[in-house]
Amino acid sequence: MPLGVPVVAVLLPGMISVKKREGESTNSLFYRFNKRVKQSGLIREVRKRRFKTRGESKLKIKLSALHRAKQMKEFARKKKLGII
């Protein structure tokens, strides 16, 4: 690598950047970059969003509510009759 050429490691534009210092080894630069990424919490956030799940549909939510209401009504009836 020619001297005087700045080396910059950037993960995302405007997010995390590290500039190579004069006389710094590539390994040292890589270590500093990884340290910055870990401190930012970006890895944790990406892993959290890795498997995105879809929300339940409105119909499914309504059917679930109706089922719960039916179960509660049945439970109350059985309790009143002394079955439970």
pLDDT tens profile 38-77: 998 888 888 888 888 889 999 999 999 999 999 999 999 9
Q: Tell whether the model's pLDDT for residue 4 goes beyond 70.
A: no
59 phi, psi to nearest 5 deg: -65, -45
Q: Are 31 and 24 in contact (CB under 8 A)?
A: no
pLDDT of residue 79: 96
Burial of 18 (0-12, 13-18, 19+ CB in 10 A): buried
pLDDT for the residue numbered 57: 96
pTM of the model as a whole: 0.46
